[in-house]
Structure 1
Amino acid sequence: MYRRKQWDDEEESHERWLISYADFITLLFAFFVVMYATSTINLNKYRALSDAVVTAFQGKPGQVTTLDAQTQTSLQNQSSVLKPLPLSYLYQEKKQRDQEKVHAIGQQLANTLTPWIEQKLIAVYQSDLGIEVDIQSRLLFNSLQATYTPQALAVLNAAGGQLKNEYRTIQVEGHCDRHLFNGQADAETKRWELSAAQASHVTASLAGQGIASKWLSATGMAETKPVSSSDNEFAQALNSRITLRILTAESSTQQSSNIANRQEIQPAIVPSPTLPETEPPILPAQATP
């Protein structure tokens, strides 16, 4: 019996993917053209491009919307090049966002420390440097000492719990009133020592809350930065305080750059004056035992 010869199927084309790829690239190009057109704030150019794209996709070549004379003149007068935003604008935007974040930190601290704020023992401020939390020394320390009061740890735990995840530079400053240790010997020295010791204690407590030591610093300011010049007891209580300052990103960067850009100054080479030669002193003879 005669058998029909089976013909092999035609070889499969391995280049058919190029057609789909070309269609994809064409659509992608059209998409970016549309995106570029919409990024420019020019309604006339947007309408013209939109009409051209719609006409092309509807399959009616040659039917392009004719622009009027006023539109053509407007397109000719306006540049098609996108101008980048100035660096000053970007810097101000970044600074504004950081200020808003810092304000949010201050609001959280104020909410957490509400019981002591209502008692006028703590005050929260916002400045150009960042957030400043003034805590009266009598709330944290016993009189004229650097030992904690019973409620000190509760205050520091509340503040540290809010700050341990912020990763910002925190300055701890100790302040004293100028009337402390009056009548005692070395009163000024004692005020410096007390303010530095209290600031160091608070810094160590914040580090114990989980704040990295690289974000912390302690400074004793003695009576150099009073908040009130009055002599009454309330003013003296305000002056004797601990200040927690949470810096903005700009203030922290400025301090870091100041340290990084400092240059060492070597002493000038000046010939030392010639001293007259003197004979060595004659030592008394030691008695032999």
Structure 2
Amino acid sequence: MRRHRPQQQIEVKHERWMVSYADFITLLFAFFVVMYSISQLNEAKYKELSTSLNAIFTSPPRNPNPIALNERSAMPSAVVDQSAQSTLAGTPAIVADLSQLESQLTSEFADLIDDELVELDSNELWLELKLNSNVLFASASAEPSDAAKELFGQLATKLRGYENQIQIEGYTDNQAIRSPRFASNWELSSARAATVVKLLIASGVRPQRLSAVGYGEFQPIADNDTVAGRQQNRRVVVMVSRRAPERMSVSARTAMEMAAKEPNAFQSQSEISRAASRASAIAEMRQMAEQRLLQELEAEAAAQAEEELPPLILQPQATESGGVLYSNGDSQ
């Protein structure tokens, strides 16, 4: 008769989940401790920083002397009106001067205009002088030709008597450039604009008035599928601003608009002077940044223009001892 072994009972411990739960609670506690520790701020320093930022960005300059509500500002409103009008709308004298400049340039470059190598145009914001790059530079080059040096020397004599901002813009066609100096048409157009800036500075135009921009092939004015269209797209444009404050910062322009609308917004002439000084400082910083960018582009282009060493080709040569000597073939 078969004996039946008694089945062994397995004891099941139902408390094992408590170990995992305890680990989870411990980690959760540590997490909240860390979060609490990093959330502690120095309240005094926080208030000091908040007050300083609020004073710089939001608080307008105030007059230390008390002013009655029904008392008008001691500064004549004519000063505010004149400053605001000359800043925001551009004075008629500037427009008249540029009209005279336009007639002078038309007379100076009449032959080039007739040959469709130079085009003169204007609107309410800019006086635009468009020049064909074929007259100024060789293909895939930013070195100015003799004609370019003479042309921009003549142009500089006309521009020296003005204080308007001048922007030089470089454009190319869509043909891929094959030059060790320029990686793409971006570099070529920027280098050509920078070259024109240098020519104008060398002829007496103040550097503070000048800026250079390169657009590459991405703003064509004609069809790049034809030779004539590509020739029109290869151009350099000299843009003379009709208004001196075209480069004014947004904050300074807002301050001048407030002065024009509310003469009592600024309680003294010194406050307007400070606003103008801030705008001038911002413009100078922007000009320095643009000049630094031009220097970096020129340094990069000069580095790419360095001639690479020719490849070293080793040729086997038999020696008197029966061995083989590898040389480049130039050794004597």
Report the TM range for the smaller structure's normalisation. 0.5 to 0.7
The residue matched to 2:130 in structure 1 has which SS?
Answer: strand
Please state how far the C-alpha of 1:98 moved relative to its aligned partner. Answer: 3.1
Q: What aligned pairs does 1:208-287 form with structure 2 within 5 A after superposition?
A: 208-249=202-243, 252-258=244-250
1:114 equivalent to 2:110? Answer yes
Picking from 196, 206, 216, the partner of 2:200 is 206
Task: Map 1:1-289; keep pairs closer than 5 Å.
Answer: 95-181=91-177, 189-249=183-243, 252-258=244-250
The structure carrying a bigger helix percent of its residues is: 2
Q: For the structure 1 residues 185 and 149, does the alpha-carbon distance in structure 2 shift closer, same or farther, using more than 3 Å as the test? A: closer
Query: CA–CA distance in 1 between the matches of 2:251 and 2:147?
Result: 37
Compared CA separation, residues 229 and 95, structure 1 to 2 (3 A): farther
Q: 1:18-67: per-residue Cα shift (whole Å, max 9, x none)?
A: xxxxxxxxxxxxxxxxxxxxxxxxxxxxxxxxxxxxxxxxxxxxxxxxxx
Q: CA deviation at 1:231?
A: 2.1
- For residues 247 and 258 of structure 1, the distance between their equivalents in structure 2, rounded to whole angstroms, comes to 18
**In structure 2, distance between residues paired with 1:131 and 1:121:** 17
Which runs of at least 4 in structure 1 moved beyond 4 Å after TM superposition?
90-97, 259-263
Give the AA of the match of 1:160: A
How far the C-alpha of 1:240 sits from its partner, in A, is 0.8
Using the size of structure 1 for normalisation, the TM-score is 0.53
Structure 2 residue runs of 5 or longer lacking an equivalent are 1-77, 254-278, 283-332
Residues 171-202 of structure 1: CA deviation (Å, up to 9, x unaligned)? 01111112243xx699x951000001000111
Q: How many residues were matched structurally?
A: 173
Flag the 1:95–1:196 CA change in 2: closer, same or farther, 3 A: same
2:179, 2:154 → 1: CA distance? 38
CA distance in 2, matches of 1:231, 1:217: 31
Alpha carbons 1:117, 1:123 under 8 Å: kept: yes
Shift of 1:93: 8.7
Deviating more after overlay: 113-122 vs 229-238: 229-238
Counterpart-to-counterpart distance in 1, 2:110 and 2:165: 23
Alpha-carbon distance between aligned partners in 1 of 2:154 and 2:198, rounded to the nearest angstrom: 15
Shift of 1:128: 2.6
Which secondary structure state, in structure 2, belongs to the residue aligned with residue 193 of structure 1?
helix
- 1:166 deviates by 1.1
Deviations 1:141-195 (A, max 9, x none): 01111112231111111111111111211101111112243xx699x95100000
The answer (yes or no) to whether the contact 1:170–1:245 under 8 Å persists in 2 is: yes
Could you list the per-position Cα deviations for residues 245-282 of structure 1 after superposition, in whole angstroms to 9, with x for gaps in the alignment?
Answer: 01012xx413222486799xxxxxxxxxxxxxxxxxxx
Q: AA paired with 2:188?
A: L
- Percent identity over the alignment is 22
Change (3 A) 1:139 1:107: same
Given the superposition, is the C-alpha separation of residues 147 and 93 from structure 1 closer, same or farther in structure 2, using an over 3 Å criterion?
A: closer
SS of alignment partner, residue 184 of structure 2: helix
Residues in 1 aligned to 2:198 and 2:192: alpha-carbon distance in whole angstroms: 10
Structure with more contact order per residue of length (Cα contacts < 8 Å, sep ≥ 6): 2
Larger displacement relative to structure 2 (138-147 or 219-228): 219-228
Q: How far 1:227 sits from its partner (Å)?
A: 1.5
**Residue 224 of structure 1: CA displacement?**
2.4
Q: 1:179 to 1:155 in 2, by over 3 A?
A: same
Change (3 A) 1:260 1:201: farther
Distance 1:254 1:168, change over 3 A: closer
Q: TM-score, normalised by structure 2?
A: 0.47
Tell me which structure has the larger Cα radius of gyration. 1
One-letter code aligned to 2:209: W
Q: Deviations over 1:57-114 (max 9, x none)?
A: xxxxxxxxxxxxxxxxxxxxxxxxxxx9xx79x7799654433322221111111111
Do the aligned residues in 1 keep the contact of 2:168 with 2:213 (CA within 8 Å)?
yes
Which amino acid in structure 2 is aligned with residue 219 of structure 1?
V
1:229 aligned counterpart, secondary structure: coil
Letter paired with 1:129: L
1:103/1:126 contact within 8 Å kept: no
